[in-house]
Amino acid sequence: MKLKLSQIADMLQLPWNGQSNPQITNITFDSRKIEAGSLFVPLVAQRDGHDFVNAAFKNGAQATLWQKDHSLPADLVGNYLIVDDTLDALQQLSKAYLKQVNPKVVAITGSNGKTTTKDMVAAVLASKYRVVKTQDNFNNELGVPLTILSMSSDTQILVVEMGMDRPGQLLALSALAQPDVAVITMIGEAHIEFFGTRAKIADAKMEIVHSLKEQGVFIYNGDEPLLEQRSQKVRQKKFTFGLQESCDLWAHNVQTYPDHTTFKINAAPDLQFFIPLMGDYNVDNALAALLVGRQFQVSMEQMQSALAVFQPTKNRTQWLKASNGAQLLSDVYNANPTAMIDVINNFSKVPTKGRRILVLGDMLELGEQAPQLHASIVQAISEKSIAEVYLLGDLMKNLQKQLTLPTHYYRADQQAQLIAALKADLQRNDVVLLKASNGLHLDKVVQALQN
C-alpha cells in the first residue's frame, strides 16, 4: 500500500489538520517490526499497545492511531489519528482500501487444508494475474485486514484465508472481504469444544457465503454431506470437488509418494497432475484450487505447471532432515483427529530402510470429546507399519492406553525428556512423523532433532 496519512484520515472519516503528511507504506501492531513508512496500530489486549507508541516512533514509525478512551501523554511526539477503537479502525481502513484497489477476492476456510489450499490457489492464479495472499496464519479479525492492507494498488486477485473458533466470526470476516469466490475445504473436528457437533461447525463454516457477491461462486467439498445439505440455500453458482464421481471436479488414479502425489481429473483426462506434497488428502486441496482457477479462465496446462512447483507454508507436511540423517516429516502447525488420522495413514506407506516412528502431541480445543477423540487415533496406527510411538501431553494418555506397540509417554511439561530419549533412540535410516496442535510446541522438538 501507498497512502498519504491524510488519505487514511479521509478513509476513516476523520478530520485532518496535520502539520506533516507522510506516506504510509505498511501497517503493524508490533512496535518491534516498525519499518520506514509504518503506521502503528496500538491494540488493546493483554499488553496495551498504547504503552509502546513512543517506542514505535523511536523505531521509525511515521504515525499512529490512538484510541480516544486513552489520555494523550504530554510527551507524545509524532503524527496521530484519534479513533473510537483501534481494531475497528484497522478493519474499516482495510474495507475502504479494498474498495479502492478493487481486486477480485477469493476467501477460503475449512477445518483442515485451508492454508495449503490458499497456497495452491495463489500459485494457480499467479500464473496469469497479480496475486496477493494471506501470509502465515493471518486469518482472523486482525490478520484479514492486515492482509488486505498489504496489497499493492495493482493487485488483481486477493486470496484470503479465514479461520474461526466461534459462531459469527466468519460472518464478520465475510462482510469485511466481500468475496467473489468462497471456498470450504472440509468439515472436521477443529474447535469442536466451542461448537459441540460437526453439524454446528458446518453451520459456522457456511457463514463465509453470507457476504458472497451476488454474481459470486461457492466452491465446496462435494464428498461432505453436511456441506451438500447446506449448499442448497446458496443462491450463487456452486461447484463441488472431491473423489466421488458425483462431484463437478473429481480425481482418480491418485498415487501418493513420500514427497509428492499425482492424480488425474475428469475435466482433463489426458493430463496428470503433480503436487509436491505427500498425502491423498492434499488432492482435495488441489481440486479446490483447480476449480478456483477455472473461474478466472486459467488453462488446465497453466494450473498443472503451477501446482507442480507451488511452495507450501512451513511445517505443513514438510520433509526435513535430522542431524544424524533421519528423515523428519514436520506437520506440527495444527492437529485435529481427521487430519492426524489422514497423515498417519499416508506416513505408514512411506518406504524406509529403517523404522517408522510417530511423535504425537495433544490435539487442543476438542472439549468434552477430547479423551475419546484422542483414543480414536489408534485406528490409524498399525504394528505392521509403525515401530514406535512417542506421545506428549495429558490428552495423549488416552491414546497410550489403546496402543500395544512400543510407546513412550511424556507429560506436556516433559518435552526436554522426550527430546533426549528420541535423540538417543533415533537411527539414520528412520523416518519420523511429528504432529500436534501448535500449543504443544513440537516445532521445538523438530529443531532439536535438526541441531
- Residue 444 has a pLDDT of 96
Check the annotation: does 110 bind a ligand.
yes
Check the annotation: does 114 bind a ligand.
yes
Domain end (from 288, 309, 330): 309
Does the residue 95 lie in any domain? no
Does the residue 97 lie in any domain? no
- Residue 29 has a pLDDT of 94
Domain that holds residue 62: 3-85
- Residue 367 has a pLDDT of 87
One domain, residues 23 and 76: yes
- pLDDT digits 0-9 by tens, 156-183: 999 999 999 889 999 999 999 999 999 9
C-alpha cell read off for 426: 533415533
Return the half-sphere exposure (C-beta side, CA atoms, 13 A cut-off) of residue 179.
29
How far apart are alpha carbons 4 and 21 in whole angstroms? Answer: 6
| C-alpha closest to that of 54 among 40, 71, 36 | 40
Residue 353 DSSP symbol = S
- pLDDT digits 0-9 by tens, 11-41: 999 988 777 899 999 999 999 999 989 999 9
Does the residue 94 lie in any domain? no
One domain, residues 434 and 393: yes
Query: Are the C-beta atoms of 332 and 438 separated by less than 8 Å?
Result: yes
C-alpha cell read off for 108: 477460503
pTM: 0.90
One domain, residues 357 and 242: no
- Residue 313 has a pLDDT of 82
How far apart are alpha carbons 342 and 352 in whole angstroms? Answer: 19
State which amino acid sits at residue 172.
A
Largest CA distance in the chain: 73
Check the annotation: does 71 bind a ligand.
no
Query: Are the C-beta atoms of 304 and 341 separated by less than 8 Å?
Result: no
- Residue 195 has a pLDDT of 82
How far apart are alpha carbons 387 and 84 in whole angstroms? Answer: 59
- Residue 322 has a pLDDT of 97
Residue of higher predicted confidence among 195 and 146: 146
Does the residue 30 lie in any domain? yes
Domain end (from 309, 342, 361): 309
Query: Are the C-beta atoms of 1 and 151 separated by less than 8 Å?
Result: yes
Strands 157-161 and 104-109: parallel
Check the annotation: does 133 bind a ligand.
no
How far apart are alpha carbons 371 and 386 in whole angstroms? Answer: 22
How far apart are alpha carbons 340 and 331 in whole angstroms? Answer: 9
One domain, residues 70 and 178: no
How far apart are alpha carbons 156 and 44 in whole angstroms? Answer: 33
Under the banding of pLDDT at 50, 70 and 90, the label for residue 194 is confident
**Residues for the chain: how many in total?**
451
Does the residue 230 lie in any domain? yes
- Strand ordering across the sheet containing 26-28: 26-28, 38-40, 63-67, 79-83
- pLDDT digits 0-9 by tens, 271-306: 999 999 998 899 999 999 999 999 999 999 999 999
The rounded percent of the chain whose pLDDT value lies above 70 is 100
C-alpha cell read off for 318: 514438510
- Residue 73 confidence (pLDDT) above 80: yes
Check the annotation: does 116 bind a ligand.
yes
Query: Are the C-beta atoms of 345 and 435 separated by less than 8 Å?
Result: no
* 3 state DSSP class of 337: helix
Under the banding of pLDDT at 50, 70 and 90, the label for residue 316 is confident
- Residue 205 confidence (pLDDT) above 70: yes
- Residue 356 has a pLDDT of 98
CATH code for the domain of 217: 3.40.1190.10
Domain count, the chain: 3
In DSSP terms, which residues pair with 389 in a beta bridge?
358, 407
- Strand ordering across the sheet containing 249-256: 131-133, 157-161, 104-109, 181-184, 217-221, 237-242, 249-256, 261-265, 273-275
How far apart are alpha carbons 177 and 107 in whole angstroms? Answer: 8
Residue of higher predicted confidence among 112 and 448: 448
In DSSP terms, which residues pair with 225 in a beta bridge?
none
Does the residue 333 lie in any domain? yes
Check the annotation: does 113 bind a ligand.
yes
- Residue 315 has a pLDDT of 66
Residue of higher predicted confidence among 198 and 414: 414
- pLDDT digits 0-9 by tens, 226-270: 999 999 999 999 999 999 999 999 999 999 998 899 999 999 999
Check the annotation: does 49 bind a ligand.
no
Exposed (0-12), middle (13-18) or buried (19+): which is 244, by Cβ within 10 Å? exposed
Does the residue 90 lie in any domain? no
